Amino acid sequence: MYAPAGVKTSKNFPIPDKMKAWVLGNPGELIYTDKTVPVPKKAEVLVRIDAIAICATDLDNIYHGPPALIEGGKPFNKNWTPGHEYMGTVVALGPGVDEYKIGQRISVEIHAGCGQCKRCREGMYTSCHNYGLNYGDVDKGHRANGFTTDGGFCEYQVNNINTLVAIPDDMSDEEGTLVVTAGTAMYGLTELGGLVAGESVVVTGPGPIGLMGVAVAKALGAQPVILTGTRDNRLAIGTALGADHVINIRKTPDVVAEVKKLNGGKGVDYVLECSAAPTGVNEALYMVNRGGKVCLAAFPHDQALVDVAHIVRNNIYIYGIRGEGKSATHRAEAFMRQKRFDATKIHTHTFALADLPEAIRYAKDRVDDAIKVVVKAKYEAAAKEAAE
Domain at 224, CATH number: 3.40.50.720
Whether 65 has a pLDDT exceeding 80, the answer reads yes
**203 and 291 inside one domain:** yes
Dump pLDDT digits (tens) for 129-169.
999 887 766 778 888 999 999 999 999 999 999 999 999 99
Q: What is the mean pLDDT of residues 71-82?
A: 96
Domain membership of residue 71 (yes or no) is yes
pLDDT score at 149: 94
Say whether pLDDT at 356 is over 80.
yes
How many structural domains compose the chain?
A: 2
User: Domain limits at 265?
Assistant: 182-320
* 220 in any annotated domain: yes
| Residues 202 and 262 both lie in one domain | yes
Is 136 contained in some domain?
no
23 plus 160 within the same structural domain: yes
For residue 384, name the pLDDT band (cuts at 50, 70, 90): very low
293 and 380 fall within a common domain: no
Residue 231 lies in a domain: yes
Band of pLDDT at residue 299, cut at 50, 70 and 90: confident
Q: Please give the pLDDT value at position 381.
A: 52
Q: What is the reported pLDDT for 301?
A: 80
Mean pLDDT of the chain: 94
pTM for this prediction = 0.94
pLDDT band at 385 (very low <50, low <70, confident <90, very high): very low
**Is 383 a residue whose pLDDT tops 50?**
no
Q: Is residue 29 part of a domain?
A: yes
Residue 388 pLDDT grade (very low, low, confident, very high; cuts 50, 70, 90): very low
Q: Reply yes or no: is the peptide bond before residue 67 cis, omega within 30 of 0.
A: yes
One domain, residues 156 and 256 = no
What is the CA 70 to chain-centroid distance, rounded?
19
Domain end (from 263, 286, 320): 320
Same domain for 214 and 295?
yes
| Helix, strand, coil fractions of the chain, as percent rounded to 5 | 30, 25, 45
By percentage, how much of the chain surpasses pLDDT 90? 89
Dump strand ranges (E) for 61-155.
85-93, 105-108, 111-112, 143-144
Residues 162-200 have pLDDT tens digits of 999 999 999 999 999 999 999 999 999 999 988 899 999
CB neighbours of 126 closer than 8 A, spacing ≥ 6? 110, 111, 113, 321, 322, 323, 324, 325
Same domain, 25 and 162: yes
pLDDT at 156: 98
User: What was the pLDDT predicted at 186?
Assistant: 97
The 10s digit of each residue's pLDDT in 34-51 is 999 999 999 999 999 999
228 lies in some domain: yes
Mean pLDDT, residues 26-37 taken together? 98
- Whether residue 377 lies inside any domain: the answer is yes
Check which CATH number belongs to the domain holding 39 and give it: 3.90.180.10
Mean pLDDT across 294-314: 92
> Which residues make Cβ contacts (< 8 Å) with residue 173, sequence separation at least 6?
50, 51, 87, 374, 376, 378
In a domain, residue 118? The reply is: no
**Which residues make beta-bridge pairs with 318?**
294
* 223 and 299, same domain (yes or no): yes
